Amino acid sequence: MEIRGLIDRGYVHTVIRKRPVDVHKGDCGKVLIVAGSREMAGAAIFASKAAIRCGSGLVKICTNKKIFLSLQTSVPEAICMEWGNTKDDLMQYDCIAIGPGMGVDRRSKNILKMILKDFDKTVVIDADGLNTIAKYDELQQLVRKTEASVIMTPHIGEAKRLLGNANIADLTRIEIASFLRKKYGCMIIVKGANTLVAVSDEDAYTNTTGNPGMATAGSGDVLTGIITSLAGQGLAPEDAAKAGVFVHGLSGDLAADKLGEYGLVASDIADYVPFALKELTE
């Protein structure tokens, strides 16, 4: 695997376009985000707020009923759904995200299994979605076999778990991506300063946006929402992954210009997504 180039503004301009005047919400993607739990409502809020702010026509959140009220207060545009109802026809969605703050248990395993078996568009897997896959061989096989285009978004700690707790401390980002790619055969985003996006066994790209202010709880959940939204709006999985990390970093940069790096929080990144998209489509 080699770094083929940088993810820069010039490239992102070619994949995120100004909206046609006659567009309607049905054209803007219907996405499902499986996220959150009683202890971690925030993760579901950040991901769904980012997805709606990134332009999705409809965002549905599948989560624990106990956090419906917090979600509906923080992101009233999103529709809440209970875990048990995930069987509701998955193919109606243009993209599905799974993982932020959902916990690692049998229920997480079962939902992942269902999505990987029954869905054939883009699936973004983050956080506890990745931790659950790391725990069950059966899911690891399914990631390799699924017809869906899977995008995994690990930070270094999650990457280590996905590689069976191997010692990866001395590996470069590209070596980590390469091992993950060999094991899972899907698109891999290794997060952190200069996030790396590995789109095939040969090709990887480095992001050029983002700042240390983004080292704050929930900023990865925002990234999940952005990539999911872009894939749901019709970007090819590879473009959703690459443009998604760029838009995420640019939103963080615009937020930091205004707020500085210390006080920047995840909700700010989601709130600045519209400004990043405005800049990119003007």
Ligand X SMILES: Nc1ncnc2c1ncn2[C@@H]1O[C@H](COP(=O)(O)OP(=O)(O)O)[C@@H](O)[C@H]1O
CA atoms within 13 Å, Cβ hemisphere of 276: 31
Q: How far is the CB of 165 from ligand NPW (least distance, A)?
A: 11
The answer to whether the annotation marks 43 as part of a ligand binding site is yes
Q: Which residues between 164 and 193 bind ligand X (CB under 6 A)?
A: 191-193
220 near Mg ion, judged by CB under 5 A:
yes
Smallest gap from Cβ 43 to Mg ion, in A, equals 8
Minimal CB distance residue for ligand X: 220
Please name the residues in contact with 164: beta carbons below 8 A apart, sequence gap of 6 or more: 134
Q: Is 151 helix (H, G, I), strand (E, B) or coil?
A: strand
**Considering the complex, what minimum distance in angstroms separates the CB of residue 114 from ligand X?**
24
- Span near ligand NPW by CB under 6 A; candidates 89-97, 181-189, 216-224, 239-247: 216-224
Q: Considering only residues 163-182, where is the footprint of ligand NPW by CB under 6 A? A: none
Show the tokens assigned to 266: 């995840």
Specify the stretch interacting with Mg ion by CB under 5 A; choose among 80-88, 119-127, 204-212, 262-270.
119-127
Q: Taking the CA atoms of the chain, what radius of gyration do you get in angstroms?
A: 17
Closest-CB residue for Mg ion?
220
Q: Please report the beta strands in the chain, taking only residues with DSSP state E, as ranges in sequence order.
A: 2-7, 30-34, 58-63, 79-82, 95-98, 122-125, 149-152, 187-190, 196-198, 203-207
Q: Which residues bind ligand X (CB under 6 A)?
A: 127, 155, 191-193, 195, 210-212, 214-215, 217-221, 223, 248
Residue numbering of the annotated binding site for AMP = 191-195, 220
